[in-house]
Structure 1
Amino acid sequence: MAAPDIRALVGGLNNVYVGVIARQDFVEARGTRDLAEILGSDEPVRVLMKPVGSSAVPVAEMIFESLGTSVDDIKSNGGEVTQVDTGQIADQMRNGAADLYIDTMIKGHPAITEVALTTDVTFLDLPQAALDLLTSNGLTEGSYGPWFEGQEGETVGANLGTVLIASAALDEETAYQVTKAIIENAEALKSSHGAWAAFDPAAAMTPENTGVPLHPGAQRYYEEAGLM
Structure 2
Amino acid sequence: MNYLLRVNFLILSLLVFGGINFEAKAQKYNLTLTGASPGGLWSRIGGGIDAAIAKAYPGSTVSYQTSSGGLANVPLVAAGKVPMGLATDGELNAAVNGLKPYKKAIKNTRVLFRVYNPASRFQMSFFAATKTFADKHGIKSISDIVSKKSPMRVAINRRGNMDADVGAAALNLLGASRKNVTSWGGQVVHAASKEIVSLVSDRRLDVVNFGIAFNHPRVREIAKNASPVLLSYGENVASKVAKQFGGEVCRVKPGEYKWAPNGAVSVCMGAVVVVNANMDAKLAYNITKALVEQIETFKNKSHRLIKKTATSSVLAQKGNAPHHPGAIKYFKEKGLM
TM-score (norm 2): 0.60
Asked if residue 204 in structure 1 is aligned to residue 315 in structure 2, the reply is yes
Any conservation in 1 of the 2:152–2:206 contact (CA below 8 Å)? yes
- Structure 1 alignment gaps of length 5 or more: none
Cα 1:165–1:205 shift into 2, 3 Å: same
Structure 1 stretches of 4+ moved >3 Å: 144-149, 151-155
Distance between the aligned counterparts of 2:316 and 2:271, measured in 1? 12
Q: Give the counterpart of 1:155 among 264, 280, 285.
A: 264
The alignment status of 1:97 with 2:190, answered yes or no, reads: no
Is residue 124–residue 214 contact of structure 2 (8 Å, CA) maintained in 1? no
- Aligned partner of 2:164 in structure 1 is 57
**Residue 190 to residue 148, structure 1, CA distance change in 2 (3 Å):** farther
**Secondary structure of the structure 1 residue equivalent to 2:309:** coil
- Would you say the 8 A contact 1:19–1:125 is kept in 2? no
**Residue in 2 aligned with 1:179?**
288
Aligned residue in 2 for 1:195: 305
- SS for the counterpart of 1:11 is strand
> 2 CA distance for matches of 1:152 and 1:189?
36
Residue 176 of structure 1 aligns with an amino acid whose one-letter code is: Y
**Cα drift, residue 88 of structure 1:** 1.8
Structure 2: give runs of 5+ residues left out of the alignment.
1-98, 100-104
Whether 2:149 is the aligned partner of 1:42: answer yes
Which of residues 214, 224, 243 in structure 2 aligns to 1:117?
A: 224
Conserved in 2, the CA contact under 8 Å of 1:176 and 1:217? Answer: yes
Structure with higher helix content: 2
CA RMSD of aligned residues (A): 2.5
Residue 326 of structure 2 is aligned to residue 223 of structure 1:
no
In the other structure, the counterpart of 2:9 is: none
Deviation at 1:143, TM superposition (A): 1.5
Alpha-carbon spacing, 1:187–1:30, altered in 2? closer, same or farther (3 Å): farther
2:289/2:330 contact within 8 Å kept: yes
How many residues end up aligned between the 2 structures?
A: 226
